[in-house]
Chains A and B, each alone.
Chain A
Amino acid sequence: MADASAAVDDKSMTFRGRRPAVSFGVGRLALYALLVVLAFVFLMPVYVMVVNSLKPLDEIRSGNLMALPQDWTVAPWLTAWSTAQIGVQPTGLRPYFINSFLMVVPAVAISTLTGALNGYILTQFRFRGAHLLFAAMLFSVFLPFQIVLIPMAKTLGLLGLAGTVKGLVFVHVVYGIGFSTLFFRNYYAAFPAELIRSARMDGAGFFGVLGRILLPNSAPIIVVSVIWQFTNIWNDFLFGASFSDFSSYPLTVALNNLVNSSTGVKEYNVHFAGAFIAALPTLAVYLLSGKYFVRGLMAGSVKG
């Protein structure tokens, strides 16, 4: 499985085997031109955000938003990080990073492991209702979160988890089960059965097969699952605002307080800097592991 994915990046549908010299004709030029234009369109919103976060406020008001800064300044970034008003304290976004990490890391870890376990069980074992169970977990992926807000609040209250980071981890794990099970189940369904059979014949038990054969070869799908979960949980606002209290509210709530304040001069440059800072972890995750992401998708995860 692993070697197949290594060769994968070289495959393309127009050429096979030895790469012939690519003639740089009009067709190629048009192709690159089209891609560059599309890339430009895709980059525009972030370009606007970054460029305007480096301008002083009067330049934003008087100038136009696509222009490069005349008066480069990193002050908005510093403000957003450590001195912007988030409620009564001018603390910037910094203190809330830790809350988000404390919530996201355990939630992603537990959710991914649970998904792997579920995927393993659903593909390697037959029991009554297994297919129905999978379908039920799959459907949970489409649940709009506002619907569960009130009953989940009651549940968290009963469990004594209200307002805590543990409570947020619990909520995100519960609603992440659907996707991670989907990813792992499809991946393991395409896993070569001989490997598992031979491991069983060698005496591997339940955890042996999972720990020695499946998981070590699950790198691509683990990456997909981790990226997907990390992004969704990091960017969540609704649960973060409703199930936290003053000591545990995550970065998205702080960002909302920064950006949606109802009075005062709107410091757009600080808002954009703040939005970008809040997005840095997920951006980093996507940029650094994009290649593995495609590999993971390839390796049978969502080919259906």
Chain B
Amino acid sequence: MRAGFLPKLLISPSAFLVLVCVYGYIMFTFYLSFTTSTMMPGYELAGTANYERLLGLENWRQSVANLGTFALLYIAIAGLLGLALAILIDQKIRAESVFRSIFLYPMALSLIVTGTAWKWLLDPGVGLEHTLRSLGWESFAFGWVKSSEMAIYCVVIAAVWQTTGFVMAMFLAGLRGVDTDQVNAARVDGAKTWQIYLRIIIPQLGPVFVSAFVILAHMAIKSYDLVVALTNGGPGRSTWLPSVFMYQYTFTRNEMAVGAASSVLMLLAIGLIVLPYLLSEMRKARHG
């Protein structure tokens, strides 16, 4: 139905707030990235100097590389594990709600709590390594969190633990909405369970994969609290992510303009990745 005056009026506060507090601020950040801001916003222009400095910084290179590793592993593992858990739980399990709650509850915890708990578990001196060794498994070694190369994988572990349950819930919902006629037809034809899953069910979950990706990508970007609680960016600077970089350079190192430049690049990357999703949503809305 064509919108009269009322709907347009009622949606305009949200539209206005999003326009100002999201896009207005993004524009502000964009502007800042061309200034000489150090501790607080300054308005003197500095051309592209900040971007040049940014791209030459080892900390930035490390952050971007880590994001690639982290995001890839996190999204893939959480997605597949979530799907696997959903399929397992969907097998007419007794105490389904118990299992479901167990896998889902980590989402309730703040990233700070998650980071702290995993920091303890992964610490070789007091955590898993120490425990398993004292139980007799002398050669067990799990000092990843103290190693410059491996620490980022610990961040992956903690992040996967946190969000897999939510992905599982999404896939569970998706599984229960799958068209059962096709499934029964295949069953009548003699197809085995795993074949049914692979050929019929999973392809129908396409939209859920997309939504899961959106949720996971969103968590990957907002992972600042988790990194700080788990490793504080260490050892050294080896678990920096762009969100950590931006925070450090803007607030701790008094290089706000460089931080703004890193924000702009982050937003650009985010935009590129979610653009297909946004376009498809728009197209669906137009034809839906």
Report A-B touching, CB under 8 Å.
yes
Taking beta carbons and an 8 Å cutoff, which residues of A are in contact with B? 8, 11-16, 19, 22, 31-32, 34-35, 38-39, 41-46, 48-49, 64-66, 114, 117-118, 121-122, 124-127, 130-148, 150-152, 155, 173-175, 177-178, 181, 189, 200, 206, 231, 234-235, 237-238, 252, 255-256, 259, 268, 271-272, 275, 278-279, 282-283, 285-287, 290-291, 293-295, 297-298, 302-304
Decide yes or no: A151 and B25 within 8 Å by CB, A46-B117, A127-B8, A133-B15 being known contacts: yes
**Docked complex: B88-128 residues within 8 A CB-CB of A:** 88-93, 97, 99-114, 116-118, 120-121, 126-127
Please, how many angstroms separate the alpha-carbon atoms of A50 and B152 in the complex? 26
Q: 25 interchain pairs (CB within 8 A)?
A: A13-B178, A42-B161, A49-B113, A65-B127, A118-B14, A121-B3, A121-B11, A133-B15, A136-B19, A140-B18, A142-B218, A143-B26, A144-B221, A150-B250, A151-B29, A174-B18, A177-B18, A235-B111, A237-B112, A259-B116, A275-B117, A282-B109, A287-B105, A303-B174, A304-B211
Cβ contact within 8 Å between A48 and B103: no
Residues of B within 8 A of A295 (CB): 173
Cβ contact within 8 Å between B247 and A14: no
Please, how many angstroms separate the alpha-carbon atoms of A104 and B91 in the complex? 37
Taking beta carbons and an 8 Å cutoff, which residues of B are in contact with A? 1-4, 6-8, 10-11, 13-15, 17-26, 28-29, 40-41, 85, 88-93, 97, 99-114, 116-118, 120-121, 126-127, 130-131, 134-135, 161, 165, 169-170, 172-178, 180, 183-184, 193, 196-197, 201, 206-208, 210-211, 214-215, 217-218, 221-222, 224-225, 243, 246-247, 250-251, 256, 263, 266-267, 270-271, 274, 278-279, 281-282, 285-286, 288
Cβ contact within 8 Å between B118 and A293: no
Cβ contact within 8 Å between A298 and B107: no
Cβ contact within 8 Å between B285 and A122: yes
Question: 8 shortest A-B CB distances, which residue pairs?
Answer: A304-B207, A235-B110, A298-B173, A125-B3, A297-B173, A127-B3, A282-B108, A302-B211
Seed contacts A143-B267, A302-B170; 10 additional CB < 8 Å A-B pairs: A14-B91, A46-B109, A49-B113, A121-B10, A145-B222, A146-B251, A147-B29, A237-B225, A252-B112, A283-B109
Cβ contact within 8 Å between A48 and B165: no
Decide yes or no: A114 and B14 within 8 Å by CB, A126-B2, A304-B207 being known contacts: yes
Cβ contact within 8 Å between B193 and A146: no
A-B contact count (CB 8 A): 277
User: Which chain A residue has the least Cβ–Cβ distance from B20?
Assistant: A155
Residues of B within 8 A of A45 (CB): 106, 114, 117-118, 121, 161
User: Which chain B residue has the least Cβ–Cβ distance from A251?
Assistant: B110
Cβ contact within 8 Å between B103 and A252: no
Please, how many angstroms separate the alpha-carbon atoms of A42 and B91 in the complex? 20
Nearest CB in chain B: distance from A77 CB, A = 15
Please, how many angstroms separate the alpha-carbon atoms of A140 and B247 in the complex? 19
Residues of B within 8 A of A41 (CB): 161
Nearest CB in chain B: distance from A218 CB, A = 16
Decide yes or no: A139 and B278 within 8 Å by CB, A146-B243, A304-B207 being known contacts: yes
Cβ contact within 8 Å between B92 and A206: no
Cβ contact within 8 Å between A122 and B11: yes
Nearest CB in chain A: distance from B111 CB, A = 7
Nearest CB in chain A: distance from B225 CB, A = 6
Residues of A within 8 A of B28 (CB): 151
